[in-house]
Structure 1
Amino acid sequence: MSKDGLTSGRKACFTTGSIMRHVLVMAGTGAIGLMAVFAVDMLNMVYIAHLGQPALTAAIGFAGAVIGLQIAVSIGLTIGISAATGRLIGAGHHDDARGTASSALTVTLLLTALLGVLTAFAAHPLLCLLGAKDEALRQATHYLCVVSPFLPLICMGMGCSSLMRVVGDAKGSMHITLVGAVISAILDPIMIFGLHEGLTGAAISTILSRLAVAALGLKGALRHDMLCWPVPSRILADTRRVASVAMPAILTNLATPVGGVYVTQAMARFGLDAVGGQASIERTTPVLFSLVFALTGSVGPIMAQNMGAGLYHRVRETLTAALKLVLVSIGVTWVILASLQHYVVVIFNAQGDGAMLIHLFCSLTIGSYLFVGMLFVANAAFNNLGHPLYSTAFNWGRATLGTVPFVWAGQHYGPGGVQLGQAAGVIIFGTLAVVTAFRVTRHLAGSVPEHAGAGVMASDVPVISAESAMAELDELAAPLSDECQ
């Protein structure tokens, strides 16, 4: 490393070239990986639903609400790692970025190990609070006890994948999630149907998939020289740097599953069919809107590098490009799903209130995801511009003021009213968030705090074939990844 602290041979590849191209490549490759993972999660729900036991379908919904809280914490920690390292890479300090990432990932693994074990011990009372009863309670408790202790594995994969995106390896990051998804896709039907293991089989498949993702992620991060043995003397300082973004990000990401917990409790009052229908929708939306979900993690490194380089106009351009993609993605998906809604009901073997909820979603409330996308993109901007508490405020506003009163009022009209209430709240907070994001970007040059982080995480609709999509995105991503080496 030279005297000025810069590492030679590395450049911030997102500080030049077309912003829209960078967003398309990063979001496109990220979306394919996420779509594969969420598609397998959705298939789990389909498999369980076709066992013909409503209690098992509801158990997936109850357990998913708790796992959502775990993943929210993990994503928040990953955001902090990506934020700190992304800005350092943009400024040219690769060695410092590597040391920070190593310290932060070590602390992340320890924290998530503790969280996983505590969740396993507290699974039964947590699920009782959600309204789970009888067989659904027993099955959901067992599932959480098996899966939760392995939470650090998925955190390792997520953290390393985010480090690969920070240096521009969108294709490599995508391949990690694809491998995990393929493993689950192969093992799920074998474990659930072939070996007749039901939810236990799904849990074992999940663990093996997480193990593969963790191993491949670690290999990828080491290949890009983004990890080393942590230096004890700098762990505290590095943790503080990452925590300045990670803690608000954890609070931000917890808001959505906490709001989801309230919705699950409201649905539980209408029986297992309603809980199963809501769970089916929650498994479907990440697949349908994988591009929207991927944008949050994809635009983070782009904003991070340009923020570190002081190119504020390119940060604003990234925000605009991401919102355009959200609008197109939601519009196209709405048209397709509205025309295929009867098939969706059949696929999930939904009955009664469950079928009604799926029809309502496909016809009407799917439109609310335009505002969910606005909120996601605005959160990415806030985290990159040194205003992570804005993300926290808007997400918790949506989860409380934007959920509780609307869902409470809607539940008087049945499970459909609960869904409509949930959709109404996000319209308000999504709009306010994106307006605030544009206002913040207009005052970048003199208003960014010194500790500002840069970068966020998160974390197959049959129109184009998967093979052709992969080929096109690989062709785009390859030269981008080469530029970043």
Structure 2
Amino acid sequence: MRHTAVMAGSGAIGLLALFVVDLLNLFYISRLGDKGLTAAIGFTGAVGMVQMAVSIGLSIGLGAVVSRLLGAGHDEEAGRIATTSLIGMSAVMFLIGIGTVAFLGPILHGLGAGGATALAAADFIRIVSPCLFVMPLTMGFSALLRAVGDARRSMTITLWGAAVSAILDPVLILGLGTGLHLGLVGAAISTLASRFTVALLGYIGVRRHHLLYRPVAAMAIADLRRVGTVAMPAILTNLATPVGGAFVTHAMARFGLQAVAGQATIDRITPVAFAFIFALTGSVGPIMAQNLGAGMLPRVRETLRASLWQVLGCVLVAWAVLALLQNQLAVWFNATGMAAELLHLFCSFVVASFLWVGALFVANAAFNNLGFPLLSTAFNWGRATLGTIPFVLIGMRYGPAGVLLGQAAGGVVFGTAAVITAFIVTGRLKPGRAGFGAAPTVQAGTAKAAEGMLAEVDGTDRG
């Protein structure tokens, strides 16, 4: 419990800083008094979530393989794979960024964006997407730092990135001190500045831990395939959420800009309210992978149980806070009419459904890092399709509120099933056996040494 709390808590501070800045973007845009711009944030978010899902999946593959090798004591091999993977990840995301710009018109049209709202969203995406190759570096360096237990440094570099955005956002979006506001263009410039800052500081931190080794050309394909074995199912898994979210955005667009603006506000509040859960799911994976590599299977199961208890605590606290602040939130984000109705519904009732969503996230982290990534893919896509489309279609008969409730109902069903499966999987684990890569046979001495390393957790020691 202490280990997961330390790793997730420090990670949550960094994530919270980034999510708060994202929320401030919405706040600053809402101050301009243009509902079209507020709705445009919803459309850019739908596109950005797809891009981010690929990057997250790649970093999951990197973190899982490297953590497991470090847990088994194969440091040099882990460093070589890390370097090769970071290069490959950046190349993949660069191509995705260019492809996004090339097909931007059909993408926005498919989401339901049109007129000035589509133009504003396109301006943001055309600036951010060509530099998408930086995103996997920020996530990859952070994953490597967590893999060696340096949660404090991982948090610090994220805070610096958030600080850059916090300073630039009001200047570029609202034109404070300049008299010239750039709107979403300013938000895009601020986003890039933040990502480049995190990437640079992350590189410095990883070098200090000597985690990067010179790649070997002859082994590059094998190294990339090894990470890809985990990353590809993880990408498919993570794509499910934004694809389901895009369907919800499309459904909301049928009810007008206010409905889309309300959904955009909820989408920005959610990660702030549940930053701890997002950080938890990113932190427990390496913990499970290292203990699997060291043959300490009881700790794998205990990590799963501790994580679920922490999800419950986080949801209860967030529910209470949002319920108390719902009226003030509507004022802060200039939410009126349908947008305000959706915000009140979320803060009063729908927020409770994140208990099952968080449980699904934890289960997916277990599947991805213990060698069963296809299970993660199946549950996430099940939630995004069978757990979203029919529920939302039924809910649409009752307006935007029905769409929101339908999306929540599907999460409850698949979150429950995923947790049950996760306990079955962890109960059947055996030392030296997993679903990906070459699992090293665990010797008694290795397990004993690993147990010593894992005994004390202060946020800087490995594991």
Same fold (TM over 0.5): yes
> Is residue 370–residue 435 contact of structure 2 (8 Å, CA) maintained in 1?
no
Please show how residues 105-184 of structure 1 align to structure 2 within 5 Å.
Answer: 105-184=86-165
Which of 359, 378, 383 is residue 368 of structure 2 equivalent to?
Answer: 383
Which of 381, 390, 396 is residue 411 of structure 1 equivalent to?
Answer: 396
Q: How big is the shift at 1:150? A: 1.3
The CA deviation string for residues 339-396 of structure 1, in whole angstroms up to 9 with x for no partner, is 1110011111011110000000000000110001000000011112211000000000
The CA deviation string for residues 212-237 of structure 1, in whole angstroms up to 9 with x for no partner, is 01101111111111113322111101
1:239 aligns with 2:224: yes
1:332 aligns with 2:325: no
- The amino acid that maps onto 2:284 is V
Please show how residues 238-257 of structure 1 align to structure 2 within 5 Å.
Answer: 238-257=223-242
> Is residue 153–residue 213 contact of structure 1 (8 Å, CA) maintained in 2?
no
Number of the residue aligned with 2:29: 48
For residues 326 and 452 of structure 1, do their structure 2 counterparts lie closer, same or farther at Cα, with a shift above 3 Å needed? farther
Number of the residue aligned with 1:14: none
1:223 aligns with 2:208: yes
Q: 1:309 and 1:267 mapped to 2: Cα distance?
A: 48
For residues 397 and 29 of structure 1, do their structure 2 counterparts lie closer, same or farther at Cα, with a shift above 3 Å needed? same
What secondary structure does 1:266 align onto?
helix
1:370 aligns with 2:355: yes
Number of the residue aligned with 1:427: 412
Q: How big is the shift at 1:453? A: 8.9
- The amino acid that maps onto 1:131 is G
> Is residue 80–residue 243 contact of structure 1 (8 Å, CA) maintained in 2?
yes
- The amino acid that maps onto 1:373 is G
- The amino acid that maps onto 1:154 is M
> Is residue 84–residue 453 contact of structure 1 (8 Å, CA) maintained in 2?
no
Which of 163, 172, 175 is residue 191 of structure 1 equivalent to?
Answer: 172
What secondary structure does 2:277 align onto?
helix
TM-score by length of 1: 0.89
> Is residue 385–residue 448 contact of structure 1 (8 Å, CA) maintained in 2?
no
Number of the residue aligned with 1:15: none
TM-score by length of 2: 0.94
Q: How big is the shift at 1:449? A: 3.1
The CA deviation string for residues 213-265 of structure 1, in whole angstroms up to 9 with x for no partner, is 11011111111111133221111010010011000000000000000000000
* Percent of residue pairs bearing the same amino acid type: 57
Q: 1:375 and 1:326 mapped to 2: Cα distance?
A: 10
- The amino acid that maps onto 1:325 is Q
Which of 365, 386, 392 is residue 377 of structure 2 equivalent to?
Answer: 392
1:37 aligns with 2:18: yes
What is the CA RMSD across the aligned residues, in angstroms? 1.5
The CA deviation string for residues 96-120 of structure 1, in whole angstroms up to 9 with x for no partner, is 0000111111100110011111111
Which of 95, 102, 105 is residue 76 of structure 2 equivalent to?
Answer: 95
- The amino acid that maps onto 1:365 is V
> Is residue 319–residue 352 contact of structure 2 (8 Å, CA) maintained in 1?
yes
Which of 273, 278, 287 is residue 288 of structure 1 equivalent to?
Answer: 273
> Is residue 86–residue 305 contact of structure 1 (8 Å, CA) maintained in 2?
yes
> Is residue 383–residue 391 contact of structure 1 (8 Å, CA) maintained in 2?
yes
1:261 aligns with 2:246: yes
- The amino acid that maps onto 1:322 is S
What secondary structure does 1:369 align onto?
helix
**Structure 1: 5+ residue runs without aligned partners?**
1-19, 455-477
Q: 2:424 and 2:290 mapped to 1: Cα distance?
A: 21
1:84 aligns with 2:69: no
> Is residue 384–residue 452 contact of structure 1 (8 Å, CA) maintained in 2?
no
- Number of equivalent positions: 443
The CA deviation string for residues 58-81 of structure 1, in whole angstroms up to 9 with x for no partner, is 111001100100000000000000
Q: 1:423 and 1:151 mapped to 2: Cα distance?
A: 31
> Is residue 148–residue 461 contact of structure 2 (8 Å, CA) maintained in 1?
no
For residues 112 and 35 of structure 1, do their structure 2 counterparts lie closer, same or farther at Cα, with a shift above 3 Å needed? same
For residues 446 and 153 of structure 1, do their structure 2 counterparts lie closer, same or farther at Cα, with a shift above 3 Å needed? closer
> Is residue 312–residue 445 contact of structure 1 (8 Å, CA) maintained in 2?
yes
Q: 2:16 and 2:459 mapped to 1: Cα distance?
A: 21
What secondary structure does 1:227 align onto?
coil
Q: How big is the shift at 1:189? A: 0.2
